[in-house]
Amino acid sequence: MSHQHPATVAALAAFMESSKDLHMEALDRPSAYSWIAVTLQHFTYYKLNKQHKGLVTRYVCHMTGYSPAQTKRLIAQWVRHGRIHVAPYKRTVFATRYTLEDIALLAAVDNAHDRLSGPATKKILEREYQLYHDEAYLRLQHISVGHIYNLRHTDRYRQHSHLFSYTSGPKNTLGQRAKPVPGGKPGYIRVDSVHQGDAPDGTKGVYLINFVDEVTQWELVACVPQISERYVKPMLQTLLAQFPFVVIEFHADNGSEYINRIIVDLLQRLHIHLSKSRPRRHNDNALVETKNGSVIRKHLGYSHIPASCAGLVNDWCQQWLNPYLNYHRPCGFATTTVSAKGKQTKHYDLDDYQTPFDKLQSLDNALQYLQPNVSFASLTPLVYTMSDTSWAEQLQVHKDSMFAVIHQQVNTT
């Protein structure tokens, strides 16, 4: 950097005004420090008043490109010592507690024990010294569990380790592990599959798919011959469109029949959120599990139904079972009370029993939840077509006819 400066402080102020739009930087640190020292000496910085010192400081910042804070530190160094020196770089070196021999010894322990967990390995290192008095473990007996994992990632450890980590397959990140929180709104659907037994020769039976809304207990049941994309995907599209309200969330267990890319893409197109049950939380899907027993098993039992009869069973579900469940079969809706200690108690009073259709109508501002092409006026005729008992009787008659056909087909095969 050039050591030519304006002769006076007044000339310096004029220079700063004329060059305020210019941007300059120092090329290297030693020459910049030398130039700053010469500049401060030229203007006799320590004799200037406060205003002129500020002007010189801004001049140094402008010419070197340094920040005001850095410039002030350098000026303070010059005022104290009469010079500005470049501090040599000193790398911070931490003391090494565990030597290369210790790392090799840790690798030998892991080779012998097939690399146990960190806590188990630490306990072994402690026992080797404290119980078996092996002096080689003097330092390793105090190692922390976290640092065991740190040493396992070092090059020295890899050189002595005989254990290798195999490449893991991609993890299933489809769906969110969470319990649905409807907040009193319909549209949070629970789904589960029920297998209708195997034949004596091992032939698979039909699968019943059960959909239950958490708030209104609106339930739809369908039957497919197999749990595969060919049958499950069109069945989902059909049943999701049959709900009178907008479906917001689709909750299933961790079965691959629902947690797969095909179902995820379908739900994304319908703007439906996918969630799945959490591990060791058996109540996450408890509602639909209860309906499996109280509805599907009660009506269809546990006996084998051939996959070839899936269409017959599905027609019975669509024409008779589903309307009966939603318009003619009362469900219990609990009234929950919380004690002073926070204990929740559920009561099922007589007034709490309603059909899913009545429950849907009783919600505050229920019209806002309906699908665009659905109204309560269009749903009401299904209630008065038959009485509850008449519909149940017809349900049983058609079920008996259905099982007669199933038994005939089973006996002929």
CB-based contact 404:304 (threshold 8 Å): no
DSSP tag of 318? I
Q: Cβ neighbours of residue 345 under 8 Å, at least 6 residues apart?
A: 336, 337, 338, 339
Looking at residues 230-252, what average pLDDT do you find? 91
Beta-strand relationship, 207-213 and 219-224: antiparallel
Degrees (nearest 5) of the Cα angle 402, 406, 410? 170
What residue spans of 243-321 are helical by DSSP H? 261-269, 286-291, 298-300, 310-316
Q: What percent of the chain has pLDDT over 70?
A: 96
- How many Å separate Cα 14 from the centre of its chain? 63
Looking at residues 51-70, what average pLDDT do you find? 89
pLDDT digits (tens, 9 = 90+) for 149-208: 999 999 999 999 887 666 666 665 777 888 888 888 999 999 999 998 888 888 889 999
* Band of pLDDT at residue 146, cut at 50, 70 and 90: very high
Residue 137, pLDDT above cutoff 80: yes
pTM over 0.85: no
pLDDT digits (tens, 9 = 90+) for 77-134: 888 888 888 877 777 777 788 999 999 999 999 999 989 999 999 999 999 999 999 9
232 SS3 class? helix
